[in-house]
């Protein structure tokens, strides 16, 4: 502490000293609600505690912050000035704590959203490999399709590009979609004809449809030049139901190669006519560019490698 020739104190504990945070919180609540009792309820304090805190603050500042009339309180000019400053300051503190908590959550756990059928039939069976390679990262899988709300707790999303996403979304292509008719192997002879080593769909083959991809058969027929005659049909609510119905022998479904490759390898499904690209692709979406060394970068690298290994194994 030192004193200039006018005798004024320049101690850090002088005019720059801040009032207690509790007193400021009590004052802010009382000023906002214009009622000491309601402020006490909000802060889980007694009316007397709030009143004493405000009185202590007034004594400390040397000004009246409230006018007290008929059991009601009204802010003075000084009170309004301080109330605005305290609100602004507490707002900055709240925003900083929100950001810090969000950063801490991301450091603990990342969330990867994936289309349900792809999650069930492709990602989950391969996910133990990611966990084994990256035990340091906690990535949580959730099912979801269509547009992504990245401010709702989703960090990454695996989506087919059958909808438009905002230009602000960062998208990395992973693999193209290849589709073809699939059925249970012991039904292939009844539902597919072979001529000169080339298979074709018999007109009487029962076709399985899905509400989530209602145009799957038409898309495949347009690409391959096949004619779809009238035949028995059955429709299912979700895509994975139609694929499971094909495994059960209920008919022929249009199956994307990535979703049926494991069943084909295990002898549960057959694809007599092979697969063709339908013009769509799967991408990993993120709200910002993926930075090296983050869980997002590990997920992206693993997805690229896994997709490449699948193609290599398939020949």
Instruction: Tell me the average pLDDT across 44-58.
Output: 92
Q: What is the pLDDT of residue 15?
A: 63
Residue 74 and residue 33 share a domain: yes
Give the helix ranges, DSSP H, for 109-176.
116-118, 124-133
The CATH number of the domain where 238 resides is what? 3.40.190.10
Q: Do 26 and 93 have their domain in common?
A: yes
Q: How confident is the model at residue 92, as a pLDDT?
A: 92
Residue 217 in any domain: the answer is: yes
In a domain, residue 1? The reply is: no
Looking at every residue in the chain, the average pLDDT score rounds to: 89
| pLDDT recorded at residue 104 | 65
For residues 242 and 273, membership in a common domain is answered with: yes
Question: Per this entry, what is the length of the chain?
Answer: 315
Residues 69 and 200 in one domain: no
Kindly report which listed range (27-41, 66-80, 89-103, 241-255) carries the lowest average pLDDT score.
89-103
pLDDT, position 136: 87
Each residue of 63-80: pLDDT tens digit? Answer: 999 998 877 889 999 999
* 227 and 137 housed in the same domain: no
The reply to whether 274 and 205 lie within a common domain is: yes
Residue 6: per-residue pLDDT? 42
| Residue 315's pLDDT band (cuts 50, 70, 90) | low
pLDDT tens readout for residues 164-205: 999 989 999 999 999 999 999 999 999 999 888 789 999 999
Contact 117, 259 (CB under 8 A): yes
Residue 54 lies in a domain: yes
pLDDT for residue 101: 67
* Same domain, residue pair 217 and 235: yes
Q: What percent of the chain has pLDDT over 70?
A: 92
Domain contains 207: yes
Tokens of 30: 């009382």
Closest CA to 11 of 23, 19, 21, 3: 3
The domain tally of the chain equals 3
| 94, pLDDT greater than 60 | yes
Question: Which of 106, 128, 148 is the C-terminal boundary of a domain?
Answer: 106
Question: What is the sign of the dihedral through the CA atoms of 13, 16, 22 and 26?
Answer: positive
The answer to whether 141 touches 119, Cβ cutoff 8 Å, is: yes
Segment 152-163 mean pLDDT: 93
pLDDT digits (tens, 9 = 90+) for 207-257: 999 998 999 999 999 999 988 988 899 999 999 999 999 999 999 999 999
Q: Note whether residue 148 is domain-resident.
A: yes
Domain boundary among 83, 106, 129: 106
Indicate whether 60 belongs to any domain: yes
Q: Are 287 and 271 within one domain? A: no
pLDDT at 84 over 60: yes
CA 175 to CA 118: how far, in whole Å? 12
Boundary of a domain, candidates 106, 128, 160: 106
Judge contact between 259 and 243, C-beta under 8 A.
yes
CATH number for the domain that contains residue 51: 1.10.10.10
The predicted pLDDT at position 75 comes to: 93
pLDDT at position 73: 86
Q: Is residue 13 included in any domain, yes or no?
A: no
pLDDT tens-place string over residues 107-116: 668 999 999 9
Same domain, 184 and 271: yes
Looking at the structure, do residues 182 and 268 belong to the same domain, yes or no?
Answer: yes
Residues 6+ apart with CB under 8 A from 17: none
Pairing between strand 192-195 and 156-160?
unpaired
Q: How far apart are CA 287 and CA 265, in angstroms?
A: 36
Task: Mark whether 28 and 46 lie in a shared domain.
Answer: yes
> Alpha-carbon distance 195 to 212, whole Å?
33
**Are 251 and 134 members of one domain?**
no
Residue 6 lies in a domain: no
pLDDT of the residue at 283: 97
**Whether 151 contacts 270, CB under 8 Å:** no
Higher per-residue confidence, 254 vs 13: 254
| Residue 101, domain extent | 21-106
pLDDT score recorded for residue 44: 92
> Looking at 10-24, 230-244, 262-276, which range is the least confident one?
10-24
């Amino acid at each position: 502490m030192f004193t200039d020739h006018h005798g004024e104190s320049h101690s850090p504990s002088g005019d720059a000293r801040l009032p207690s945070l509790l007193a400021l919180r009590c004052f802010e609540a009382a000023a906002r609600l214009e009622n000491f009792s309601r402020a006490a309820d909000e802060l889980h304090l007694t009316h007397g505690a709030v009143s004493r805190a405000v009185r202590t603050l007034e004594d400390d500042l040397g000004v009246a912050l409230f006018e007290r009339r008929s059991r009601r309180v009204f802010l003075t000019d000084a009170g309004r000035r301080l109330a605005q400053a305290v609100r602004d300051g507490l707002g900055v503190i709240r925003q900083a704590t929100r950001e810090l908590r969000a950063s801490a959550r991301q450091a603990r756990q990342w969330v990867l959203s994936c289309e349900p059928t792809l999650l069930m039939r492709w990602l989950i069976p391969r996910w133990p490999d990611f966990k084994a390679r990256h035990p340091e990262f906690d990535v949580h899988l959730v099912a979801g399709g269509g547009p992504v709300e990245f401010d709702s707790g989703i960090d990454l999303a695996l989506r087919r590009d059958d909808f438009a996403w905002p230009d602000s979304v960062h998208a990395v292509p992973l693999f193209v979609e290849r589709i073809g008719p699939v059925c249970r192997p012991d039904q292939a002879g009844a539902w597919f004809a072979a001529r000169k080593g080339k298979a074709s769909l018999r007109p009487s083959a029962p076709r399985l449809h899905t509400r989530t991809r209602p145009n799957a058969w038409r898309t495949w027929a347009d690409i391959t030049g096949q004619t779809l005659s009238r035949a028995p049909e059955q429709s299912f609510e979700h895509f994975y139901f139609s694929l499971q119905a094909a495994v059960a022998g209920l008919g022929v479904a249009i199956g994307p190669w990535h979703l049926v490759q494991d069943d084909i390898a295990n002898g549960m499904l057959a694809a007599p006519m092979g697969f063709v690209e339908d013009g769509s692709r799967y991408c990993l979406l993120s709200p910002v560019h993926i930075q090296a060394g983050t869980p997002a970068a590990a997920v992206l690298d693993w997805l690229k490698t896994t997709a490449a290994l699948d193609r290599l194994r398939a020949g």
